């Protein structure tokens, strides 16, 4: 791991990260400061608290990180339930309050062509606001129509137009847009006509065209749609998972070389990696990572070294289990492969891929550690750990792989803990000298030997 910020057995967690001119800005918990604003240059010494915004262990819990110019804007709160708009340039002195918004739920912060849009909501009303980053320039656009407290969502910038999803008692959940004026804040189209909602989701800007998932008729489920901001120009792209009871649920859109890649479900292949150029003919599956009807669940995507990087499940012949690993793709089936081999450090539950300079950061779990901040450069994981997961070069368990039993050697009395590939404890025994371990099903295990205050960890594969 790069640095362990949480100084207790409770794991650190990095729910949001953003690149600011080559510096990683993120939120992390710490015993002394609570959940606050941190930065990293990719080194342990360069991973530091920026500012303790709300003094004490409670934390201001910064969220909704949004880049505007040379600053990151974000939302914080205090113990009196007030919310604030803040900005930071990555320094303590440059971390400043823009405006106190009061006792409201503050959400949906987004940069739309140099203007920040967001919503304020309480039990009485929901309002759309905008800001140019100054106190005076932070102002109300429109109080949205509603007879109950629905909440706008999925804020998306498409070439200066804000698209979002809004649900009113009169209009149901449909697609809306705003140009930053009260008059220009309107519903785009009643996609599912009548009293039913189309429930648009996963809005995405495809080079000036909005892509999203919605249910438009009784004849299909939630499928791939596009919009140019007009009623006539809001249409179905393709019914990927054909049938009125089936939905492809397209999600996790990412633009790579003028094509959008995303995850979608089909009856034949499960949830896998797809692509679209905005036409029916140009919309199809790229790779079935888990052949058959099982799903790989493609999630986080970035462009790095002129390739598409994506996290997806894949079956490991080395560990005899599924893991959520990192893959690279040139957009073709043949050119989509895993980034590093199974005998590299065993990292599973990888996610949150974020590029900063020449390094990819991500949240990942590798036995026996909890989820922490990791780094990868040119598919080389040596920058994440100084050695593979086997933290001591002396092997104490053999053979590897093994069949019916594993021999474990210890120099003195020790505790042996055995974990499966998901990190669950399956055996715990006291041993001394040479011991035989049996009763393990086929799969990957991690043997953790604790003796005289020293901990050794070794991967063992059980085969037929």
Global pTM reads: 0.67
Whether 283 and 211 have beta carbons less than 8 Å apart is answered as no
Cis amide linkage into residue 399, ω under 30° from 0: yes
Burial class (CB in 10 A: 0-12, 13-18, 19+), 338: middle
Residue 6 lies in a domain: yes
Residue 196 lies in a domain: no
Q: What pLDDT does residue 428 have?
A: 84
Residues 6+ apart with CB under 8 A from 80: 103
Q: What pLDDT does residue 429 have?
A: 86
Virtual torsion, Cα 304, 305, 308, 312, nearest 10 deg: -70
Cα separation, 70 vs 268, in Å, equals 47
Cα separation, 276 vs 283, in Å, equals 4
Out of 103, 124, 158, pick the residue that ends a domain.
103
Residue 88 lies in a domain: yes
Residue 140 lies in a domain: no
Cα separation, 187 vs 45, in Å, equals 50
Whether 141 and 183 have beta carbons less than 8 Å apart is answered as no
Residue 71 lies in a domain: yes
Cα separation, 191 vs 194, in Å, equals 9
Which residue in the block uniquely carries the two structure tokens 């999600």? 251
Q: What pLDDT does residue 460 have?
A: 79
Q: Provide the token pair at 407.
A: 């021999």
Out of 78, 103, 128, pick the residue that ends a domain.
103
Residue 449 lies in a domain: yes
Q: What pLDDT does residue 147 have?
A: 56
> Can you give the residue range of the structural domain that contains 48?
1-103
For residue 456, count other CB atoms closer than 10 A to its CB: 19
| Cross-strand partners of 364 | 372
Q: Which CATH number do you get for residue 443?
A: 2.60.40.10
Which residue in the block uniquely carries the two structure tokens 């055995």? 418
* Cα–Cα nearest to 206, from 259, 252, 155, 164: 259
Beta strands in 147-238 (DSSP E): 153-158, 161-168, 172-178, 186-189, 201-206, 209-215, 222-227, 235-238
Residue 289 lies in a domain: no
Q: How far is CA 378 from CA 42, 215, 366, in A?
A: 15, 41, 20
Residue 258 lies in a domain: no
Strand, helix or coil for residue 382: helix
* Cα–Cα nearest to 61, from 35, 80, 32: 35
Out of 80, 103, 126, pick the residue that ends a domain.
103
How many domains does the chain contain in total?
Answer: 2
Tens place of pLDDT for every residue, the chain, 464 residues?
Answer: 566 666 544 444 445 789 999 899 998 888 888 889 999 988 888 899 999 999 888 889 999 999 999 999 999 988 888 999 999 999 999 999 999 998 888 889 999 999 999 999 888 889 999 999 999 999 999 999 875 557 899 999 999 999 999 987 666 889 999 999 999 999 999 999 887 889 999 999 999 999 999 998 777 889 999 999 999 999 999 999 886 567 899 999 999 999 999 999 998 888 999 999 999 999 999 999 888 888 888 988 999 999 999 988 876 655 545 667 788 999 999 999 888 654 455 566 677 788 877 888 777 766 555 556 677 777 665 433 333 333 333 578 888 777 778 888 887 788 888 887 666 788 888 888 788 888 888 777 778 888 877 778 777 777 76
């Amino acid at each position: 791991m790069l640095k362990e910020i949480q100084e207790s057995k409770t794991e650190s967690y990095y729910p949001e990260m953003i690149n600011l001119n080559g510096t990683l800005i993120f939120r992390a918990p710490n015993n002394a400061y609570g959940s606050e604003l941190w930065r990293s240059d990719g080194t342990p010494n360069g991973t530091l608290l920026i500012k303790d915004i709300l003094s004490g262990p409670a934390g201001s819990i910064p969220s909704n990180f949004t880049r505007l110019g040379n600053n990151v804007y974000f939302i914080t709160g205090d113990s009196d339930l007030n919310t604030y708009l803040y900005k930071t340039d990555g320094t303590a002195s440059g971390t400043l309050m823009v405006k106190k918004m009061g006792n409201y739920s503050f959400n949906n912060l987004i940069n739309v062509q140099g203007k920040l849009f967001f919503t304020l909501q309480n039990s009485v009303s929901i309002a759309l606001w905008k800001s140019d980053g100054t106190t005076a320039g932070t102002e109300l656009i429109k109080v949205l129509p509603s007879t109950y407290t629905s909440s706008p969502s999925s804020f998306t910038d498409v070439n200066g137009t804000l698209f979002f999803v809004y649900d009113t008692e009169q209009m149901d959940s449909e697609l809306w847009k705003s140009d930053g004026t009260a008059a220009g804040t309107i519903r785009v189209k009643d996609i599912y006509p009548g009293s039913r909602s189309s429930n648009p989701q996963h809005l995405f800007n495809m080079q000036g065209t909005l892509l999203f998932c919605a249910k438009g008729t009784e004849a299909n489920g939630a499928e791939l749609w596009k919009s140019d901001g007009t009623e006539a120009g809001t249409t179905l792209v393709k019914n990927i998972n054909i049938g009125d009871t089936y939905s492809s649920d397209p999600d996790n859109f990412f633009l790579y070389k003028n094509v959008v890649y995303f995850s979608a479900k089909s009856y034949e292949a499960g949830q896998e990696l797809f692509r679209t150029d905005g036409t029916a003919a140009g919309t199809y599956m790229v790779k079935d990572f888990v052949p058959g009807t099982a799903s790989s669940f493609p999630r986080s995507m970035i462009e790095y070294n002129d390739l598409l990087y994506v996290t997806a499940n894949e079956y490991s012949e080395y560990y005899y289990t599924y893991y959520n690993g990192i893959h690279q793709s040139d957009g073709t089936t043949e050119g989509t492969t895993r980034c590093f081999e199974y005998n590299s450090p065993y990292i599973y539950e990888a996610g949150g891929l974020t590029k900063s300079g020449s390094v990819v950061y991500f949240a990942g779990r590798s036995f026996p550690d909890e989820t922490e901040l990791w780094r990868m450069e040119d598919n080389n994981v040596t920058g994440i750990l100084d050695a593979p997961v086997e933290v001591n070069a002396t092997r104490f368990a053999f053979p590897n792989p093994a069949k019916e039993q594993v021999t474990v050697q210890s120099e003195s009395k020790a505790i042996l803990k055995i974990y499966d590939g998901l990190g669950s404890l399956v055996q715990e025994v006291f041993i001394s000298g040479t011991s035989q371990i049996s009763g393990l099903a086929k799969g990957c295990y991690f043997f953790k030997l604790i003796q005289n205050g020293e901990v050794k960890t070794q991967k063992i594969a059980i085969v037929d």
